[in-house]
Amino acid sequence: MTSRERILAAVRHQSVDRLPCDIWATGEVWDSLREHFGEEDQHKIRDRLGIDGICGAGAPYTREHPESPEGTPVGLWGTWGRQIVLPTGGSYWEQAYYPLKEVTDPRQLDDFDWESPTDYDFAAAREACEKLRGRFMVEAGYMAPFVDLWTLFGQETALLNLVLRPELIEAVLERTMAYRLAQHRLLFEACRGVMDVTQVTDDFGCQNGLVMSKKTIQSIFWPHYRRAIKLAKEYGLIVFHHDDGGMFEIIGDLVEMGVEVLNPIQWRCAGMDRARMKAEFGDRLCFHGAVDTQAIMSFGSADDVRREVRENMRLLGGDGTGYIVAPCHNIQSGTPLENVLAMYEEIGEGQ
């Protein structure tokens, strides 16, 4: 089977020659892999490690903004951030400006620049998809209503407004989702026939459970999820949902709405029992991830990693399908290279 055939079969719960695998990793991890293999081409490194992969293709944002006060780029809706350097030598980009943070009245939204969903190079997205499609499952698009809220308000203010100003939250969601649905219809139309997967996704979970009540998620966010998933299905796309943390309580709702792939399966978080997930949803949901990056990949030994891979394959892929072996989020900078290599060696050897 090709990598694309293998992942597609796993998503559809069909027989595979082996469980497929994927990688999520920071730039620093990729740099260490390039040095180890003496190879710059990321796809050739994937081949060396036996990684199948769902590969992303994006539509470049084309609107020009003035630089931020700190001289950094400004993105959609005027947001901007700064680079944070880690003790491990890695870095990440952290948002620093939230344009609606001080807004308290829905009427103030009329004066905000909601921009145009046409401000993307959709032809470039199609070209990128075409280059990947013959070899990989191709993902494009990202609709995340809660992420958009905290991008505009900041996470703390967004959560407070869910309780204190629900009418403001709904007014913002109507505008952000109108933008996202129009943007993604243009993307899906441009990439019709050359993409496979899109994300309808968010982060409703944290270490100890949901960040808000299930009732709040159902009443405020699910109507927008249904619109987003309906659009994806119009174009025959597989719906991939990324949701960190302890979010078991809402998995049933996601499956009912049409989510087909669930990531990242952070089993160390509250309620995320892998055997229970497979038993209750394994016939309708393909699991992606689960190899622990909080402790085992980052701080364990290579043998610990190998045991972790085998345990996940047993619990989530014991029936021979419906599981894509991958880290439960990005492998972080500072992770020993031998652990990364051990993970993919064990995936290949353990089947």
Neighbouring-strand partners of residue 85 = 91
pLDDT recorded at residue 87: 85
Q: Strand, helix or coil at 96?
A: strand
Task: Answer yes or no: are the C-beta atoms of 26 and 333 closer than 8 Å.
Answer: yes
Instruction: Please report where in the chains the tokens 């191709």 appear, as a residue.
Output: 138
Whether 97 is in a domain gets the answer no
pLDDT tens sequence across 191-228: 999 999 999 999 999 999 999 999 999 999 999 999 99
Dmax over CA atoms of the chain, in Å, equals 60
CATH number at residue 139: 3.20.20.210
Whether 81 is in a domain gets the answer no
Distance from C-alpha of 346 to C-alpha of 332, rounded to nearest angstrom: 19
Whether 238 is in a domain gets the answer yes
Whether 13 is in a domain gets the answer yes
Looking at the predicted structure, is the pLDDT value of residue 350 above 80?
Answer: no
Distance from C-alpha of 297 to C-alpha of 312, rounded to nearest angstrom: 13
pLDDT recorded at residue 163: 96
In the chain, the number of structural domains is 1
Pairing of strands 197-200, 238-242: parallel
Task: Answer yes or no: are the C-beta atoms of 197 and 54 closer than 8 Å.
Answer: yes
Whether 99 is in a domain gets the answer no
* Mean per-residue pLDDT over the chain, rounded: 96
State in Å, rounded, how far the first CA of the chain is from the last one. 15
Q: In the 8-state DSSP scheme, what is residue 317?
A: H
Question: Percentage of the chain with pLDDT > 70?
Answer: 99
Q: Strand, helix or coil at 23?
A: coil
Across 172-190, average pLDDT: 98
Whether 96 is in a domain gets the answer no
> Which residues, 6 or more positions from 351, have their beta carbon under 8 angstroms from its beta carbon?
18, 19, 313
Whether 92 is in a domain gets the answer no
Q: What is the DSSP string of 110-156?
A: GGS----TT-B-HHHHHHHHHHHHTTSEEEEEEE-HHHHHHHHH-HH
Give how far Cα 164 sits from Cα of 158, 175, 178, 222, 327, Å: 10, 19, 24, 20, 37
Whether 273 is in a domain gets the answer yes
pLDDT tens sequence across 15-65: 999 999 999 999 999 999 999 999 999 999 999 999 999 999 999 999 999
Residue 264's domain spans which residues? 3-63+105-349
